Amino acid sequence: MSVVTSRRLLAAAALGAMLWGPLAMADDPNMRDALSSNKGKRVTVMLGAGQELTGTVSDFGSGTVKLTELSGKEYYDAIVRIDRIEALVVRARSN
């Protein structure tokens, strides 16, 4: 994981902590662990060049994650390379 990616992930976690309370993270977090702890939940993954995908974490392959029920494309699924994800945005709590 690059320094920029780590900083973006930590910034997203800090923002989430300020707005919704703390996110549960391991002592040495990595993107795969963060995704697997949110399996079955809706997440937004931030990709390069400002691209983002919102969907439900469904399954994992070798270095990939499957997102189902994509926002705006409910009949589509996506396979995303985990090493291309720069940040993970998770709704930590509801009103």
**Is this structure's pTM higher than 0.85?**
no
Fold entry, domain 3-90: SH3 type barrels. (2.30.30)
What does each of the 95 residues of the chain score in pLDDT, given as a tens digit?
Answer: 555 555 665 555 554 554 444 555 555 678 999 999 999 999 999 998 889 999 999 999 999 999 999 999 989 999 999 999 999 999 877 77
Look at residue 58 and give its three-state secondary structure: strand
- Judge whether 4 and 86 are in contact, CB under 8 Å: yes
Q: Which among 20, 56, 61 has a CA at the least distance from the CA of 38?
A: 56
The alpha carbons of the chain give a radius of gyration, in whole angstroms, of: 13
| pLDDT given for residue 8 in this prediction | 62
Domain locations in the chain as residue ranges: 3-90
What pLDDT does residue 20 have?
43
Distance CA 88, CA 35 (A): 8
Residue 11 is predicted with a pLDDT of 57
